[in-house]
């Protein structure tokens, strides 16, 4: 097959050379509300073509590579006492896989355990290309299942305004959970 980024022949969907040179992550921090932060690994402009692979059959392979390079490395260096759950935001399956579940899976470590199907949007309106005003007027209306009194890291692929992450955080906090921070692959504001 051909590498998605350089189009050279490769055994993987993104060749080892491109994994090393083109998509090496850097760490970014954005405060979403007082003392609550989102951490991301890429600027959206750097990996936009790869992020949109979530809409295609090969997207699971792309997301596994991106998550291995970012989320997995993060989990190896993250240390905090106690059990922490990695919760993917709205990890429904579209196009035969859940991109947010893939991200959470790669956070698995001695202290971080992925937990799936915990927070689902009941309003499936699409936010792509919409402004903050639209997002505030059309909430996701998250439903939390099977999780309370836990310490959590939220996982998503992209942060634009931060409204989805904050809405998910508030829904989890109503069930007496503590959300430490959120992790995303990319930040649209970088």
The long-range contacts involving 137-141, CB below 8 angstroms and separated by at least 24 positions, are 139/167, 140/90, 140/164, 140/167, 140/168
Domain boundaries, the chain: 26-187
Give the separation between CA 60 and CA 96, rounded to whole angstroms. 9
CA angle 27, 33, 35 (to 5 degrees): 70
Q: pTM for this structure?
A: 0.89
For tokens 């996701």, name the residue.
140
Give the separation between CA 66 and CA 156, rounded to whole angstroms. 13
Return the top range by mean pLDDT from 35-44, 95-104, 120-129.
Answer: 35-44
Average pLDDT, the chain: 91
Per-residue pLDDT reduced to its tens digit, 65-122 = 999 999 999 999 898 888 999 999 987 766 678 999 999 999 999 999 999 999 998 8
Per-residue pLDDT reduced to its tens digit, 62-80 = 999 999 999 999 999 898 8
Cα separation of the two ends of the chain = 32
Cβ-contact 131, 158 below 8 angstroms: no
CATH number of the domain located at residue range(s) 26-187 in this protein: 3.40.50
Q: Which pLDDT value is given to residue 95?
A: 63
Q: Is the pLDDT of residue 139 over 90?
A: no
Give the separation between CA 83 and CA 50, rounded to whole angstroms. 32
Q: Which pLDDT value is given to residue 24?
A: 80
């Amino acid at each position: 097959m051909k590498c998605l980024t350089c189009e050279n022949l490769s055994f993987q969907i993104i060749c080892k050379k491109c994994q090393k040179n083109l998509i090496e992550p850097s760490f970014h921090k954005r405060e979403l509300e007082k003392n609550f932060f989102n951490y991301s690994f890429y600027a959206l402009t750097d990996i936009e073509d790869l992020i949109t692979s979530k809409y295609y059959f090969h997207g699971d392979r792309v997301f596994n590579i991106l998550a291995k390079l970012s989320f997995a490395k993060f989990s190896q260096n993250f240390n905090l006492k106690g059990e922490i759950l990695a919760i993917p935001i709205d990890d429904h399956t579209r196009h035969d896989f859940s991109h947010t579940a893939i991200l959470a899976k790669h956070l698995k470590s001695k202290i971080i355990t992925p937990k799936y199907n915990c927070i689902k949007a009941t309003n499936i309106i699409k936010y792509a290309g919409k402004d903050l005003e639209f997002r505030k007027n059309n909430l996701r209306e998250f439903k939390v299942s099977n999780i309370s009194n836990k310490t959590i890291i939220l996982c998503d692929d992209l942060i634009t305004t931060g409204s989805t992450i904050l809405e998910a955080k508030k829904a989890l906090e109503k069930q007496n959970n503590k959300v430490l921070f959120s992790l995303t692959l990319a930040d649209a504001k970088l």
